[in-house]
Every structure is written in C-alpha cells, then in structure tokens.
Amino acid sequence: MAGVELCEPIQLYNILNQATKSSRLAERNYLCLIDARTKREYDESHLITAIRMKRDPSGSYIVPPSANLDYVRHCVVYDGTTEILSSDYVEDVAADEEINARSGSAMRCARVVQEYTRFPVRVLKGGYERFTISYHFLQTQKIFWMPRELEDFLPYPVEIVPVPDSPEADMLTFFGDVCHFIERHTQQDAVLVFSTLGISRCCTAVMAYLMHSCKLYLKNAWRYVQNCKNDIRPNRGFVRQLSEWEARLYLSSVTNISEPSY
C-alpha cells in the first residue's frame, strides 16, 4: 500500500495549475481528483475534473472504473471539512441515508483508494469548504470533460510557496519546484516573483533559480540580483539554505556566507 497523507490547499492549487504547452490536466496519468461527498453536494458544485466516489447500498466506497489509479501520479481525495488523518472515524451508513458527507469521509475513501495506487493518496486538508474559500474560481458543476477542453484549460500561472519569512522556515524544500516553474514559464513569457516586502523570500527564490538554471555560484547569483535590486536582505536562515543548495548543486560550498555582505 502506498499510504495516505494530508495535502494542503496550496499544494492542490499548484497541482491543478501545472502546464507545459497545455494544461497537465489533459494527461491521463497526471491527476485523479476524487470527491467523497454525497451526490447532492457533488451536484451542487465540486472542484474541476473531480469525479464522485460512489458507494454501494451498505455505504462502502466503490472505486470508479474510469480511474486508472495504477499509474496516476497524483491522487487527491476530499470531503467537506476533514482536517486531520484519523483512524477514529464513524462507521459507514447506507448511502441514501446521508444528506451531507460525514466527517472523515475522505479518509475512509482514501483507505480504499490506496489499495490501487503506487503513490501516496492525499487527503485535502480542510476539504472542499476550506479550499473554495481561497480558490472559488476552481469550483464547477461540470461533470464530463473532453480531452480538448482540458488541453485548452487556461491555468492560473502562479506557483505558491507556503513559507513565512522566518529564519526557521524551510524554503530549501521548495527550491526545486520554484526553479522548474520559472524555467518552464520563461520559455514563453516573463515571470514575476514577489513576496510581501520583496527583499527576502522572493530574492531567495530568484537566487536559487539562478544557481540552478544559470549555473551560478551563490556569490555570483547574489551579485546579479543585488545589481538589479539593491535592497535585498534574505534572512539568515534562507542564506544558510542557499549555501546548502550551492553545496548540493556543485558538491561543495564555494561562497563564504560568513562575510559581512551576506
């Protein structure tokens, strides 16, 4: 079994908005998004491309025959409000007895789905309600999607990195995703990288990209960004993570970050 893990709303947003020449949602083995709520809730509105996980008369979930789960890279399940992965959930009841999905429905559904997947099944934290508060434009009543419709789907070209500007925050984990996103989109257009003050997180992201894609050492990437924006000030935690990124890319730390300029 591949297991079950929580998926932050930001992570699902980023998954839904990946694209090359066309949206990755058109790829058969890219994403299987499963709605574990009731038929009434699903018909009222659901997330784009989501398929409803039906249940038999006893209340047990039935894997949709259209879901090719063996080869799907991302499998995300959601209900209304699930916040945690818990083994303590209410026993299933007959499907026609429920108006709204019970708490823990996504977890029960994910336990069934994980039997068929190679990658971990993700349960959307906060469920449909929390996700649509921030990303209401990704809800729909449309059930069937033709391949051409998915190819023509216009993603929102935004990659969100959920990292606070704190020395303890882990930005290194996202460097690879940031680099690939910028690299992919600069082939077609410019990319705007921004954060609240524009001096710490966004500068760190740009330097990580320059080190990876332009083959610059940290000291050269720092100098390049500083020439473009003279008030850069990544916090010390991010500077150390950039140094570690340099060591990963070039097998050693070339830049001495103890110098006053850093």
20 and 105: one domain?
Answer: yes
| In 27-153, beta strands by DSSP E | 31-35, 46-47, 51-52, 74-78, 121-124, 139-140
Is residue 195 assigned to a domain?
yes
For residue 159, being part of any structural domain is answered with: no
Regarding beta strands 46-47 and 139-140, do their DSSP bridges make them parallel or antiparallel, or are they unpaired?
Answer: antiparallel
Query: Is 215 found in the same domain as 146?
Result: no
Regarding whether 131 and 9 lie in a shared domain, the answer is yes
Lowest mean pLDDT among 28-37, 60-69, 199-208: 60-69
Question: Which residue, 83, 116, 151, sits at the end of a domain?
Answer: 151
Answer yes or no: is pLDDT of 52 > 60. yes
Is the residue at 259 inside a domain?
no
Please give the pLDDT value at position 6: 92
Q: Same structural domain for residues 8 and 135?
A: yes
Q: What pTM does this model have? A: 0.68
Per-residue model confidence (pLDDT) at position 98:
56
**Average pLDDT of 163-172?**
93
3-state SS assignment for residue 23: strand
Collapsed DSSP state (helix, strand, coil) of residue 233: coil
CATH number at residue 216: 3.90.190.10
Residues 120 and 227 in one domain: no
In percent, how much of the chain has pLDDT > 70?
A: 92
Pairwise CA distance, residues 62 & 158, whole Å: 35
176 with 124, same domain: the answer is no
Residue numbers of the domain that contains 56: 4-151
- Percent of the chain beyond pLDDT 90? 46
Q: How does pLDDT run across 85-115, given as a tens digit for each residue?
A: 774 544 444 444 455 666 688 999 999 999 8
**Could you tell me if residue 114 is inside a domain?**
yes
227-246 pLDDT, tens digit each = 999 999 999 999 999 999 99
Neighbours of 13 (CB within 10 A): 17
Of the residues 100, 120, 151, the one at which a domain ends? 151
Number of residues that this document lists for the chain = 262
Q: Cβ(246)–Cβ(257) under 8 Å?
A: no
Confidence of residue 128 (pLDDT cuts 50, 70, 90): very high
In a domain, 258, yes or no: no
In this structure, are 146 and 226 located in the same domain? no
| 158 found inside a domain | no
- Same domain? For 143 and 230 the reply is no
Residues 101 and 138 in one domain: yes
- The pLDDT, as a whole number, for residue 91 is 47
DSSP per-residue letters across 219-243:
HHHHHHHHHH-TT----HHHHHHHH
Q: How many domains does the chain have?
A: 2
Looking at the structure, tell me whether residues 139 and 198 fall in a common domain: no
Q: pLDDT tens digit string along 57-93?
A: 877 888 877 777 888 999 999 998 888 877 454 444 4
103 and 9: one domain?
yes
Domain with 54 in it: what CATH number? 3.40.250.10
Alpha-carbon distance of 222 to 233, in angstroms, equals 10
Q: How confident is the model at residue 157 (pLDDT cuts 50, 70, 90)?
A: low
Q: What are phi and psi of 77, to 5 degrees?
A: -115, 140
Crossing angle (nearest 10°) for helices 201-213 and 218-228: 130
29 vs 184, more confident: 29
Is position 45 within any domain? yes
Is 139 a member of any domain? yes
Nearest to 37, CA basis, from 117, 136, 137, 139: 139
CA atoms of 14 and 8, how far apart (whole Å): 10
> What pLDDT sits at residue 202?
94
Q: Based on the domain organization, do 184 and 243 belong to the same domain?
A: yes
CA of 13: how far to CAs of 16, 182, 232, in Å? 5, 17, 29
